Structure 1
Amino acid sequence: MTGNPDAIIVGAGPAGLACAMTMRAAGLNVTVLEKAETVGSVWRRHYDRLHLHTDRNHSGLPGMAMPPIYPTYPSREQVVEYLESYTERFNIKPVFNATVRSIRRDGTQWRADAAQDLISAPVVVVATGIADTPYRPSWPGSELHRGRVIHSNEYRNPTPYVGKRVLIVGFGNSGGEIALDLANAKVDVGLAVRGPVQILPRDLLGFPILAWAILYRRLPARLVDLINAPILRLALGSIEELGLRRASKGPRQMVEEDGRVPLIDIGTLDKIRDGSIKIYGGIDRLTSDGVVFAEGRSEKFDAIILATGFRPDLRQLLPDVEGIFDKHGMPLLTGRATNAPGLYFCGQITSPTGQLREIGLEAQCIADSARGYIAAHHGFSVR
């Protein structure tokens, strides 16, 4: 790695690519460091049937809309194809196989320790995403359990599970969609749901649910949830009769306050209603061949899939910087200047108006801010 960039961007997923495009358009010289061998590496590892839950028209990155030939909700393969095309169109040349071990302040510069090289710049953007550090809970009896236990990021398709009983732990979008995938393949599948939930239809009154979220984005979360509650109940029906409990917080409030994304239903509820997907409570402990649930019920399962999300802790990446993370190691601010001069995060917080859309907005804000920061504090004009 050579040269003296104005900015280091860590990650070549959607957020890193969007920042590279907007920052270069603002006249900055950027270096993108990516630990994998390709752009969009996380998207390449997702399960086969995955489609965006946000519509094509609200999912393009800055400067390049998704192709109109794509369906309303593009597939995983199409998202990867789009990211490759985006990289080529804007001549973004990430440095691959460059794992960044740490980022530290060095005078007026940020120094990234990557792949046996040190690279410095006045600005650094952490764009490593929120789906690259699987969270794997454990229970009493885990050491005795003989069945297969994997995280949802290891799941690809139903083929290995045909003829088996499978329990999915978690009721987020990965859990709901993997359960649907297995049910469609006639696999005996259940969902372990520990607490109350919120569910949204993917489309409401003929429009993508994201369009409604954008329409109401300037209103307080509680008011939005109050307005939407009656029509959502009509659209979805009773979830209580399915053995589910509705959360006291509405969907928007849940995202903003807890960082939890409601299940966007693409057919999971229908499979619960017809019995193809069974609902269980929280897990108390594992046995050698199954699970004991909190209410005392015991069931045998051949495999357990942990759809328990991701918990990236960025404190390890920035060990010397204080006042920028919450208690879990997630950034307090994303898409704008932090308390540490020249340090930015992009796409690191869940958004109620669509992650890809929010990444695009954040990338433009970061480019504008970084350009002004460099011009004001480093004594030279950006190109």
Structure 2
Amino acid sequence: MAMSMSMQWRETQGKQLHDPFFLKSAADTCRFCPGPIIVGAGPSGLAVAACLKEKGIPSVVIERSTCIASLWQLKTYDRLRLHLPKQFCELPLKAFPKDFPTYPTKQQFLAYLESYAKEFDIKPAFGESVESAEFDAGMGMWRVRTVLFGKEIHRTYLGRWLVVATGENAEAVVPEIEGMEEFEGTRIHTSVYRRGNEFEGKKVLVVGCGNSGMEVCLDLCNHNARPSIVVRDSVHVLPQEMLGRSTFGLSMSLMSWFPVQTVDRFLLFISWLMLGDTAKLGIKRPDLGPLALKSISGKTPVLDVGTLAKIKSGDIKVCPGIQRLTRKGAEFVDGISEDFDAIILATGYRSNVPSWLKEREFFSEKDGMPRRPFPNGWKGENGLYAVGFTKRGLLGASMDARRIADDIEQCFEVEANQFMVFSCSPN
């Protein structure tokens, strides 16, 4: 009896682009992929590839950087830890090592990802930046065009399924602030910030009061810098743990029993008992509760890891919004001016999907996010999928990775058999 396509691919796991099933043109510029094409080798892309591999379905992972999880490896500060307990950050099919702490460090998380890629034999095509991806209706296939980093070599991948796994945090957001070019001090985004010792003794203005901005301020304090943080908008600050449990875990448990509004009131009451009135520190809370706000806008509450105590002690100063930057510092909306040696932009990241995906129905051109909110933003038309766009972190990515693999499995054998006879002509 002939083996099924899934069994054939289980027999050939671990082979790379020279696999005999991975057809090439004579010029080696156009390649047919029997399984899904996954763009992005971060945690989301790895999760999808692993879920597919577990079902015996091959995939090709394309990554513009030279390593997996490039955001974590190359664009995060050294003191970073997972903000949620490890059980909420595991990728499908593999738990964290038992000896890892509740909140793994950056280095531990990266070790976990490397082990994950090795265990599932995921070998991305590194150094290939996707220039364009579009659906060819005539062929019924996705055409993904890449360029090799530092070379004028182009490749075209053809496949029935395309998984967009570049995520919400593909590109750093650098806001336009009046006077930005006039400022004579150091100006960097948190994507290039590593540790606070470089700023010892200096006055530093951190622009942005999310989790990254708050934690960078704490790191600067611990290295004897003098940080100030810009809090332009309202923000919820919650303790990382309450009542002996992680705030996130406690919230998830309560949500299974009570409505969002009730859980929000509970969280805010406990936060007030533990942290006090943050409005007195210059940090006003939004009108909506933290979980309701997260559900509607995707805005994540700050989980405090010690920054608020430094604000209360005066080691970190809270500033209102910036009116404009000057040569020596900043002028704020309250009319007060202050000098700074450096400015660190903790202004987040955004999706870059509109710059390369030639599709306008599933993804929004405005923000590069799926138009349909969670939990319905993982599947588009013509074999297009999205993972890592839920605004629910690694937990949301893992959920979508499983959905995608299950969905592709339903039609893989029929369609793979059909396209195995396809031959590709050079560009």
Class of the TM-score when normalised by the shorter of the 2 chains: over 0.9
8 A contact 1:19–1:363 mirrored in 2? yes
Q: CA deviation at 1:145?
A: 1.4
8 A contact 1:321–1:340 mirrored in 2? no
2:339 counterpart of 1:300: yes
8 A contact 2:362–2:370 mirrored in 1? no
* Aligned partner (choices 239, 244, 247) of residue 286 of structure 2: 247
Aligned length: 379
* Aligned partner (choices 108, 112, 118) of residue 144 of structure 2: 112
Corresponding residue number in structure 2 for 1:93: 123
| Unpaired segments ≥5 residues, structure 2 | 1-16, 23-32, 148-153, 421-427
Per the normalisation by structure 2, the TM-score is: 0.84
2:36 counterpart of 1:7: yes
2:380 counterpart of 1:339: yes
1:99 aligned counterpart, secondary structure = strand
Corresponding residue number in structure 2 for 1:153: 191
Q: CA deviation at 1:258?
A: 1.7
8 A contact 1:337–1:369 mirrored in 2? no
Q: CA deviation at 1:181?
A: 0.3
1:150 aligned counterpart, secondary structure = strand
Q: Deviations over 1:192-239 (max 9, x none)?
A: 110111011111111112212322455654343234322222122111
Query: Residue 41 and residue 337 in structure 1: after superposition, are their counterparts in 2 closer, same or farther (change >3 A)?
Result: closer
8 A contact 2:390–2:396 mirrored in 1? no
1:214 aligned counterpart, secondary structure = helix
8 A contact 1:375–1:381 mirrored in 2? no
d(CA) in 2 for partners of 1:60, 1:277: 34
Q: CA deviation at 1:332?
A: 2.2
Range with bigger deviation, 279-288 or 367-376: 367-376
Corresponding residue number in structure 1 for 2:114: 84
Q: CA deviation at 1:294?
A: 0.3
Identity of aligned residues (%): 37
Corresponding residue number in structure 1 for 2:72: 43
8 A contact 1:198–1:262 mirrored in 2? yes
d(CA) in 1 for partners of 2:363, 2:259: 25
Corresponding residue number in structure 2 for 1:228: 267
8 A contact 1:324–1:340 mirrored in 2? no
d(CA) in 2 for partners of 1:38, 1:77: 14
Per the normalisation by structure 1, the TM-score is: 0.94
d(CA) in 2 for partners of 1:39, 1:313: 18
Q: CA deviation at 1:31?
A: 0.6
- Residues 1-383 of structure 1 mapped to structure 2, 5 A cutoff: 1=17, 3=22, 4-45=33-74, 46-107=76-137, 108-115=140-147, 116-217=154-255, 220-325=259-364, 327-333=366-372, 337-351=378-392, 355-374=393-412
Query: Residue 321 and residue 195 in structure 1: after superposition, are their counterparts in 2 closer, same or farther (change >3 A)?
Result: closer
Query: Residue 101 and residue 261 in structure 1: after superposition, are their counterparts in 2 closer, same or farther (change >3 A)?
Result: same
Query: Residue 359 and residue 82 in structure 1: after superposition, are their counterparts in 2 closer, same or farther (change >3 A)?
Result: same
Query: Residue 220 and residue 330 in structure 1: after superposition, are their counterparts in 2 closer, same or farther (change >3 A)?
Result: farther
Query: Residue 381 and residue 68 in structure 1: after superposition, are their counterparts in 2 closer, same or farther (change >3 A)?
Result: farther
Query: Residue 177 and residue 13 in structure 1: after superposition, are their counterparts in 2 closer, same or farther (change >3 A)?
Result: same
d(CA) in 1 for partners of 2:275, 2:408: 44
8 A contact 1:169–1:308 mirrored in 2? yes
Q: CA deviation at 1:323?
A: 4.2
Return the letter of the residue paired with 2:36: A
Q: Deviations over 1:216-269 (max 9, x none)?
A: 455654343234322222122111221221111211122222221111100000
Return the letter of the residue paired with 1:162: E
Return the letter of the residue paired with 1:109: M
8 A contact 1:122–1:374 mirrored in 2? no
d(CA) in 1 for partners of 2:380, 2:398: 22
Return the letter of the residue paired with 1:133: E
d(CA) in 2 for partners of 1:220, 1:241: 29
Query: Residue 233 and residue 375 in structure 1: after superposition, are their counterparts in 2 closer, same or farther (change >3 A)?
Result: farther
Return the letter of the residue paired with 1:27: G
Range with bigger deviation, 123-132 or 228-237: 228-237
d(CA) in 1 for partners of 2:54, 2:210: 37
d(CA) in 2 for partners of 1:309, 1:289: 24
Range with bigger deviation, 317-326 or 151-160: 317-326
d(CA) in 2 for partners of 1:263, 1:373: 42
